[in-house]
Amino acid sequence: MFGSIVIMYLDKKKEFFIFHAIGIVPKQIQQIFFFLGCCISWVGSFMGFLLGLIIVIFQKNFPFLYVPSTSLAYPVEIHFENCLIVLLTVFLLGTITSFIATAGIKKRAYLYLS
């Protein structure tokens, strides 16, 4: 996630003059990158959560994972509290990572525009 924000920054760095020409200040550039980082994180975590949920439902109905050295299907259960904790944790960590990754963009944008 951190890498994708840095790559986006490097890709869009040439366009900072265009942003500046239409009136966007470096703080707004930082906010744009923060928002994009959060969106990437949230969409990725939601897609991963859905994929995990599908795998658990599939395992529950059509067992394909078995306990080693036995013929017992690996037991799985879905608990709402666990799902909520996982989603909130991933959203929070993604937001923190986006904040850290975009912390220096405002200063770099000022340097690039001057």
Q: Give the number of domains in the chain.
A: 1
Q: What is the pTM of this model?
A: 0.74
Split at pLDDT 50, 70, 90, the class of 111 is: low
Within 10 Å of residue 114's Cβ, how many Cβ atoms?
Answer: 5
38, 101 in Cβ contact below 8 A?
Answer: no
Residue 10 has pLDDT above 80, yes or no: no
In terms of residue numbers, what domain contains 36? 2-113
- Residue 7 is predicted with a pLDDT of 78
| 3 state SS of 10 | helix
pLDDT in tens, 25-62: 888 888 988 998 899 999 999 999 999 999 999 999 99
